[in-house]
Amino acid sequence: MKTFLSRLDFVFTAVLGVLTPVAPIIYTLTFVIICDFLFGLYRAYKCKEEITSRKMAQTLPKLLLYNLIIIALFLVDKYVMNTGIGLEKVAATLMILIEMKSVDESFKSIFGYSLWNKVIDSIERGKSITKK
């Protein structure tokens, strides 16, 4: 039994060592998903919608699948394709944009305006000022 546990410890350490470079991406993605979850709860509370366990449970598969996709892309990019492109970063960026848009939709239902549209409008105003 002792040798099994020492081998298991070795395997766990090796897996942790391989996945260490992708940990900040996983932490960031998890943080954004939790923010989306909290904004959704607050929106449901403010709009007097029923908060059900079915709706809340949708967060767990998303959390697991997004992180598994990031890990899989990291491993494929590093050990199979060896491109150095950072496929996991590209995928994480897209997933974070999706989650941020979801947060913005909740924000719009709560406060009546979209932060996303305000940022886009500010960028467009900045472009028009620099063109003159």
pLDDT in tens, 12-51: 888 889 899 999 999 999 999 999 999 999 999 888 888 8
| Rounded Cα distance, 57 and 52, in Å | 9
Confidence of residue 124 (pLDDT cuts 50, 70, 90): confident
| Rounded Cα distance, 98 and 34, in Å | 13
| Rounded Cα distance, 45 and 7, in Å | 49
Instruction: Name the residue among 74, 71, 44, 70 with its Cα closest to residue 56.
Output: 44
H or E segment to which residue 3 belongs: helix 2-19
Q: pLDDT value at position 1?
A: 58
Q: pTM, whole model, 2 decimals?
A: 0.80
Q: pLDDT value at position 2?
A: 65
